[in-house]
C-alpha cells in the first residue's frame, strides 16, 4: 500500500517506466555495507566482519521475506536470550532477500561449548559467526547495496533503457533527489507507526496501543481485520487473542501483557524491545520531516545544495532539523514547521514531555538530499512472470538512512 500523502514528491521530469517491485522477495536484494565498507551480499556464503576479538558474538543474518524485528524475535527465542541483547545497525526490507551484521551478548560461553550453532532455516540463516569487542548500534553502517528487478513494465526494452538513462542523468545533474522517508517507515500494509507516535507524544499510551492493535486496513487478511475490529470496538482482550493470527507476534505480546498487568498500558509499552519503543515517535518525526521537505521544495527553494535560513551545511551537504526537544528552530525552517504543526494535534512542546524524551523524541539533523552511488542498469529483458511485459534490473548504493523505494519512485513514477 502506498500512502502518497506520507511521502515526498518525485522531482525528476523524465517519464517513468512504470512496473512493480517485490513481486518476488528475491527481486529485491539488499546487502548492508559495513563501516569497513564490506558489502554483505546475501548470495555469498562467508564474510570477513573486521574487528578486534571480544565477548560479543557477531555474524551475518540473511533473511528472506521476513521483517527484521520478527527475525530478531526468532533469534531471541531459539537462543533463549533477551531481545535487547541483540544489536543491529539498521532494519532491512521485509519482502526482500537481505544481509546485515548482527551482534549478540550472552551466548559466548555456549558458542565455545558448541551449544549455539549456525541457523539454516527457510527464512533466516546465520553466517560467519565470530567474536568481536564492540556491540552493534543503530547507525553503525556506511549504507546499503541494492540489486532490484522491476517487473511488469508495459514498455519495450529500448524505451526502458532510454528513460532510465535520462532519469539517471537528471539525478546526476541535480546532485540528488529529496531524501524523504519511505513507506516502510510508516508501514507498508498498515501505515500507522506515525499515528501511534502521535498518541505517545500527546501522552495517551492507551490510545497508542489501541491504534497499533486495533486500526484496520483493507490490505490485510480478513482474519486480521476481524480480530483488530473486535479490539477496536470492544476492547475484549481474550476474544481478540482467540481470533488474532499467530504471526502478529507484537500484537499478541501487547495483548497478553495487558492481561497479565490488568491493563497497565505503560508497563506493557516498556516491555517491548527498546528499538521498537522508539520506532513510533521517530516515525512521527519522519512524517513531519517529509512534510517539511515537500513544503521547502515546493514553496521555498528547489536548490538542494544551498541551505535556507535555519538549515546547516557540512562537507557540501545540507542538513535540516527533524523536530525534537533538543532542536532549536529558526528562520525559514521554523516558519515551515509552524505551518505544518498548525494542522497537527501535536505541538512543539509535546516533544519535551518526559515520555517523549524517553522514547527518543530529542530530534536530530538529516540530509535533505540523497544521491545514489554506483548506479547501473544491468539488463532489460522479457518478463517471464508477466506475459508481454518487460523487466529492468538495476543496482545502486545508498548511504545509511536513505530509502531505495524513494529512488525507485523517481524511476517508475
In the three-class reduction of DSSP (H, G, I as helix; E, B as strand; rest coil), residue 215 is classed as coil
How many angstroms separate the CA atoms of 223 and 43, rounded? 35
The sign of the CA dihedral 195, 197, 202, 205 is positive
How many angstroms separate the CA atoms of 156 and 5, rounded? 31
Q: Are 261 and 267 in contact (CB under 8 A)?
A: yes
Cα angle 175-147-59, degrees, rounded to a multiple of 5 = 110
How many angstroms separate the CA atoms of 224 and 390, rounded? 35
Beta strands 369-370 and 97-104, pairing class = unpaired
Residue with cell string 512472470: 385
Please enumerate in sequence order all residues whose Cβ is within 8 A of that of 153, keeping only pairs 6 or more positions apart, or say none: 17, 18, 19, 160, 383, 389, 390, 391, 392
DSSP symbol at 115: -
Q: Are 53 and 132 in contact (CB under 8 A)?
A: yes
Angle between helices 331-341 and 274-295 (to 10 degrees): 110
Q: Are 70 and 76 in contact (CB under 8 A)?
A: no
Q: Are 403 and 181 in contact (CB under 8 A)?
A: yes
How many angstroms separate the CA atoms of 130 and 54, rounded? 9
Cell matching residue 162: 532510454
Q: Does 93 participate in catalysis according to the annotation?
A: yes
Angle between helices 193-201 and 205-214 (to 10 degrees): 170
Q: Supply φ then ψ for residue 191, to 5 degrees.
A: -75, 80
DSSP symbol at 319: E
Exactly one of 27, 73, 93, 383 is catalytic; name it: 93
Angle between helices 249-261 and 68-79 (to 10 degrees): 60
How far, CA to CA in Å, does 135 sit from each of 130, 165, 203, 392?
13, 41, 32, 39
Active-site positions? 93
Amino acid at each position: 500500500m502506498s500512502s502518497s500523502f506520507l511521502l515526498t514528491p518525485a522531482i525528476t521530469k523524465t517519464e517513468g517506466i512504470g512496473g512493480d517491485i517485490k513481486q518476488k522477495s528475491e527481486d529485491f536484494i539488499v546487502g548492508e555495507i559495513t563501516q569497513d565498507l564490506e558489502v554483505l551480499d546475501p548470495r555469498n556464503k562467508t564474510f570477513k566482519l573486521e574487528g578486534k576479538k571480544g565477548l560479543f558474538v557477531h555474524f551475518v543474518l540473511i533473511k528472506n521475506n521476513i521483517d527484521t524485528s520478527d527475525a530478531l524475535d526468532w533469534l531471541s527465542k531459539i537462543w533463549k536470550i533477551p531481545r535487547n541483547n541483540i544489536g543491529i545497525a539498521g532494519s532491512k526490507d521485509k519482502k526482500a532477500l537481505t544481509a546485515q551484521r548482527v551482534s549478540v551478548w550472552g551466548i559466548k560461553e555456549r558458542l565455545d561449548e558448541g551449544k549455539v550453532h549456525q541457523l539454516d532455516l527457510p527464512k533466516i540463516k546465520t553466517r560467519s559467526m565470530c567474536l568481536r569487542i564492540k556491540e552493534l548500534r543503530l547507525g553503525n553502517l556506511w549504507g546499503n547495496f541494492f540489486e532490484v528487478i522491476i517487473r511488469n513494465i508495459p514498455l519495450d526494452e529500448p524505451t526502458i533503457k532510454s528513460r532510465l538513462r535520462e532519469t539517471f542523468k537528471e539525478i546526476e545533474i541535480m546532485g540528488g533527489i529529496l531524501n524523504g522517508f519511505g513507506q516502510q517507515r510508516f508501514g507498508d500494509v498498515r501505515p500507522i507507526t506515525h499515528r501511534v507516535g502521535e498518541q505517545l507524544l500527546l501522552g495517551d499510551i492507551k490510545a497508542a496501543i489501541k491504534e497499533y492493535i486495533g486500526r484496520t486496513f483493507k490490505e490485510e487478511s480478513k482474519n486480521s481485520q476481524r480480530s483488530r475490529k473486535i479490539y477496536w470496538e470492544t476492547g475484549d482482550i481474550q476474544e481478540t487473542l482467540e481470533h488474532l493470527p499467530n504471526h502478529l507476534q507484537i500484537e499478541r505480546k501487547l495483548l497478553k501483557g495487558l492481561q497479565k498487568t490488568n491493563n497497565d498500558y505503560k508497563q506493557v509499552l516498556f516491555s517491548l524491545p527498546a528499538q521498537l519503543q522508539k520506532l513510533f515517535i521517530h516515525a512521527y518525526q519522519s512524517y513531519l520531516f517529509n512534510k517539511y521537505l515537500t513544503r521547502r521544495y515546493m514553496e521555498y527553494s528547489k536548490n538542494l545544495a544551498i541551505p535556507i535560513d535555519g538549515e546547516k551545511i557540512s562537507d557540501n551537504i545540507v542538513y535540516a532539523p527533524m523536530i525534537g526537544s533538543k532542536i532549536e528552530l529558526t528562520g525559514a525552517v521554523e516558519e515551515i514547521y509552524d505551518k505544518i504543526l498548525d494542522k497537527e494535534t501535536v505541538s512543539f512542546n509535546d516533544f519535551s514531555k518526559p515520555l517523549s524524551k524517553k522514547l527518543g523524541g530529542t530530534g536530530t539533523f538529516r540530509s535533505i538530499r540523497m544521491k545514489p552511488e554506483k548506479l547501473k542498469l544491468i539488463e532489460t529483458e522479457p518478463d517471464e512472470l508477466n506475459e508481454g511485459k518487460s523487466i529492468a534490473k538495476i543496482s545502486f548504493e545508498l548511504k545509511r538512512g536513505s530509502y531505495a523505494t524513494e529512488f525507485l519512485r523517481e524511476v517508475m513514477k
